[in-house]
């Protein structure tokens, strides 16, 4: 069992309070490789940005308690050794059961998400309240979800073909009754590669900012979370297809819409797909350029600075630079 404070981590309470007051969002970044994690921390150190490291239940199970905790500690040690005091949270992304959240908390996570969005409203409240009571007794913060995002969160998980916008009136009721510390809502973002459906004229619809505004008016200071906000760079999609991949259609969330949301009560924005396709595209390219390579370092060492470049851009969009 690990105590997150001993790993140099913090929960999201003060992190979100500051983000709400100053009108920016904290980047919440999924990682699946060491190169990706190092690229994140390189960017965070350069930009002096707070960060939330996202780990899915699948990855947590694959790595185990020990490896997950020590990777988080390496990240905080790197920041400390650079002479900086930058807040880092380790967050369970899309925990689906009470047991998954308990396992994460015992494994040193400082924040957990309980995703009961597919449950009936009252069952979602009950599950979130149960997780919140357990987590708060251990000074761990809890994110819940209301409303359904189209698409799969990651390979090996179930997805949906339909989106369901969050009802803002129900969201206020949920916040007041569930005990959660932040709430992920659906305002038009989406998991996966197609995050928006273009209009007939080819333009993209706006996110439903009115939902954000209503919740903010009724619950001032309460942090909102957005998932499925990757931009989906066409450069990387083309690179994948040019080097043996096959991705047919992608539509990302425009950067300007993400930035606007960050000024309207959104304190945490999740980015997963952009990191995956950046790593995959450049791995395919490098292996094509070096077909005789037998050492995986031929591409892993080159991926890290490319990841850093991606996350520097995300920090800029969310406005979190120099906020530590």
For every residue of 32-95, DSSP letters joined together read -SHHHHHHHHHHHHHHT--EEEEE-HHHHHHHHHHHHHHHHHHHHHHHHHTT----EEEEEEEE
Question: What's the pLDDT score for residue 214?
Answer: 97
Query: Do the beta carbons of residue 48 and residue 321 sit within 8 Å?
Result: yes
Question: What's the pLDDT score for residue 199?
Answer: 82
Residue 70 has pLDDT above 90, yes or no: yes
Question: What's the pLDDT score for residue 13?
Answer: 98
296 found inside a domain: no
Average pLDDT over residues 281-303: 94
d(CA 198, CA 205): 7
pLDDT band at 149 (very low <50, low <70, confident <90, very high): low
Which residue shows structure tokens 């920090």?
A: 315
Average pLDDT over residues 31-59: 96
d(CA 58, CA 95): 10
324 found inside a domain: no
d(CA 98, CA 131): 6
Beta bridge partners of 287: none
265-to-20, 82, 154, 176, 213 alpha-carbon distances in Å: 6, 31, 26, 17, 8
- Looking at the 3D structure of the chain, how many domains does it have? 1
pTM above 0.85? yes
Question: What's the pLDDT score for residue 150?
Answer: 52
Task: Write b or e for each residue in 50-77: b if 16 or more Cβ atoms lie within 10 A of its Cβ, otherwise e.
Answer: bbbbbbbbbbbeebebeebbbbbbebbe
d(CA 223, CA 259): 15
11 found inside a domain: yes
Helix (H, G, I), strand (E, B) or coil at 134: helix
d(CA 322, CA 45): 10
245 found inside a domain: no
Angle between the N-to-C axes of helices 168-178 and 209-218, in degrees from 0 to 180, rounded to the nearest 10: 40
* CATH number, domain with residue 62: 3.20.20.70
Q: What is the pLDDT of residues 201-221, one digit of tens each?
A: 878 889 999 999 999 999 999
Average pLDDT of the chain to the nearest whole number: 93
Chain mean position to CA 34: 17
Question: What's the pLDDT score for residue 167?
Answer: 94
293 found inside a domain: no
54 found inside a domain: yes
137 found inside a domain: yes
Q: Domain limits at 190? A: 4-235+255-274+304-318
238 carries an active-site annotation: no
Point out the catalytic residue in the list 42, 93, 181, 274.
93
Residue 156 has pLDDT above 80, yes or no: no
283 found inside a domain: no
Question: What's the pLDDT score for residue 157?
Answer: 45
């Amino acid at each position: 069992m690990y105590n997150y404070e001993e790993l140099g981590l913090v929960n999201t309470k003060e992190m979100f309070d500051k983000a709400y007051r100053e009108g920016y969002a904290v980047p919440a970044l999924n990682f699946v490789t060491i190169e990706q994690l190092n690229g994140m921390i390189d960017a965070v150190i350069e930009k002096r940005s707070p960060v939330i490291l996202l780990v899915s239940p699948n990855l947590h199970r694959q790595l185990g308690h020990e490896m997950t905790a020590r990777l988080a500690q390496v990240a905080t040690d790197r920041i400390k050794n650079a002479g900086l005091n930058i807040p880092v949270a380790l967050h369970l992304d899309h925990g689906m059961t009470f047991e998954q959240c308990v396992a994460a908390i015992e494994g040193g996570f400082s924040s957990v998400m309980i995703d009961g969005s597919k449950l009936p409203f009252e069952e979602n409240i009950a599950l979130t309240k149960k997780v919140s009571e357990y987590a708060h007794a251990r000074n761990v913060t809890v994110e819940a979800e209301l409303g359904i995002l189209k698409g799969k969160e990651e390979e090996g998980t179930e997805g949906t073909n339909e989106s369901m916008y969050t009802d803002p009136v129900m969201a206020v009721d949920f916040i007041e009754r569930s005990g959660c510390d932040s709430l992920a809502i659906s305002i038009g973002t989406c998991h996966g590669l197609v995050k928006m459906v273009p209009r007939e004229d080819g333009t993209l619809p706006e996110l439903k900012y009115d939902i954000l505004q209503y919740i903010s008016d009724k619950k001032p200071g309460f942090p909102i979370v957005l998932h499925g906000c990757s931009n989906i760079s066409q450069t990387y999609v083309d690179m994948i297809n040019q080097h043996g991949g096959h991705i047919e259609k992608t539509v990302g969330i425009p950067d300007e819409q993400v930035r606007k949301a960050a000024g309207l009560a959104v304190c945490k924005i999740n980015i997963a797909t952009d990191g995956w396709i950046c790593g995959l595209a450049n791995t395919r390219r490098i292996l094509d350029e070096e077909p005789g390579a037998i050492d995986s370092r031929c591409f892993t060492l080159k991926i890290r600075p490319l990841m850093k470049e991606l996350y520097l851009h995300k920090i800029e969009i969310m406005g979190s630079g120099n906020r530590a």
